[in-house]
A and B are shown apart, each in its own frame.
Chain A
Amino acid sequence: MALSADESSRLAELLTSRATQVTQRWTEVMAGQLRGRLSQAELVRQVQELHRALTDALGKGAADLTAEEATELRAVLAELSRGQARQGFSATETASSIFGLKDALLAELEADQSVGTLRDYVAFSGLVDQMGLFTFESFVRTRESLIADQAEQLLELSTPVVKLWEGVVAVPLVGTLDSARAQVVMERLLQTLVDTGSPYAIIDITGVPAVDTQVAQHILKTVVAARLMGADCIISGIRPQIAQTIVALGIEFGDIATKASLADALRHVLRLTGVETSRRQPRREA
């Protein structure tokens, strides 16, 4: 679908001579697509930048979008779609705003009724299609990197190990426990046990929405690993439905202590370590 040198120079000339009309029509189409979520000034700036980059590329004789001469045009397109992806526009809206150029070109070419017009229009629209697809691709790439970033942040946010008492640490698990997260939780818990020298760990699963055999397997592995290192694990925060699921699935926790709430688990550990807690006697006025 490459443009011949002749066609690209004709298109460059058309874009230069009818610059105002083309950008105006293009801006209108884009504004219709984006329905006022982008300010008019911003739109005009984007369209003019695209128009300038496109004219430059064609003026240098770029045959298609992959050509060396079109490097700047690609950068502008990538920048545009990155911005729109981050602002929450859909992929269709982003690509359609590029396809708006077709409307603008058609309006200009219709005025000129010579024989080559149709051929020119088909060639031009091939280039516009390429631009649209390129935008689409960089849009998806931006979204994917956003998702990857967020997944990583989530992984870091969701696995804190907190110290409850001297020698007692707890891991409040929140959210679904998949293999990757289970691995992170396990490593972090064991490392904290070593760093703090705590012989007791409480794994609280109040925030885990569902416990299936796989999740149970991950938790059991963590407990066994902690035991190998010489620390004892207690599982707490088992909700009534989860208790029923565990029994229905036939999951055996063996001799691992399980408690209904974190408070119970802490009390259990304190009793094991011999810490006594008592209410302070109210002071009596003499």
Chain B
Amino acid sequence: MERVPILKIGDILLVSIQLDMSDQTAVALQEDLAERIVATGCHGVIIDITALDIVDSFVGRMLSTIASISKVLDAETVVVGMRPAVAITLVELGLSLNGIRTALNVERGMELIAVDRVHDDQYEFEGGPDTEPLALP
């Protein structure tokens, strides 16, 4: 069975989906990812779907599940690289990827996660109602 590789870049796990997902690959990816998050202690997961021509309800649900699993393990999930045609199809079908954050490309996704971590740290240690939130770069 084919497996989706999971790459670690700094504090982030990068998953680039480049094959048609089946039930088995999806389940395997979820298990692998959960294990890697725990093993590495990463706080961010980026799922790159640039190579996907079709995102149907199955893939949508898989992304939602991965996001929920990561959330439980205190990691932020960002889906990046959705193609315009895919986005239009999803809208026309009325499918919305609830609870999933998106970014245009991997770079933006990493920025997004980095900013979130800075926010979290601030609120944990020096946060207060008067603290100015850091601006996006």
Contacts and interface: CB of A to CB of B under 8 A. Distances in A.
B96 A228 contact: yes
A226 interface: yes
A225 B84 contact: yes
B82 interface: yes
Interface string A119-153: 00000000000000000000000000000000000
Contacts of B78: 230
Nearest to B96: A224
Contacts of A198: 104
Contact of A228 (B102, B105, B109, B135): B102
Interface in B52-83: 78-80, 82-83
Contact of A190 (B84, B105, B109, B137): B84
Contacts of B91: 221, 224-225, 228
B108 A197 contact: yes
A65 B87 CA distance: 55
Nearest to A193: B104
A230 B90 contact: no
B137 A194 contact: no
A221 B88 CA distance: 8
B88 A230 contact: no
Contact of B80 (A190, A191, A230): A230
B84 A187 contact: yes
Given A224-B91, A272-B136, A273-B136, A230 B102 contact: yes
Contact of A194 (B84, B88, B90, B109): B84
B136 A229 contact: no
Nearest to B84: A190
Interface string A215-250: 000000100111111110000000000000000000
Nearest to B83: A194
Contact of B135 (A190, A193, A273): A273
Q: How big is the A interface, by class?
A: 20 to 34
A197 B107 CA distance: 10
B4 interface: no
A120 B7 CA distance: 91
A61 interface: no
Interface in A180-219: 186-187, 190-191, 193-194, 197-199
Contacts of A36: none
Contact of B108 (A187, A199, A227): A199
Contacts of A228: 82, 86-87, 90-91, 96-97, 102
Contacts of B79: 230
Interface string B121-137: 00000000000000111
B103 interface: yes
Given A186-B88, A199-B104, A230 B82 contact: yes
Nearest to B55: A228
Nearest to A220: B91
Contacts of A193: 84, 104
5 contacts: A197-B108, A230-B82, A272-B136, A273-B136, A274-B135
Interface of A: 186-187, 190-191, 193-194, 197-199, 221, 224-231, 272-274
Given A199-B103, A272-B136, A274-B135, 4 more contacts: A190-B87, A225-B84, A230-B79, A273-B135
A-B complex: 4 closest residue pairs judged by Cβ atoms: A274-B135, A190-B84, A230-B102, A230-B103
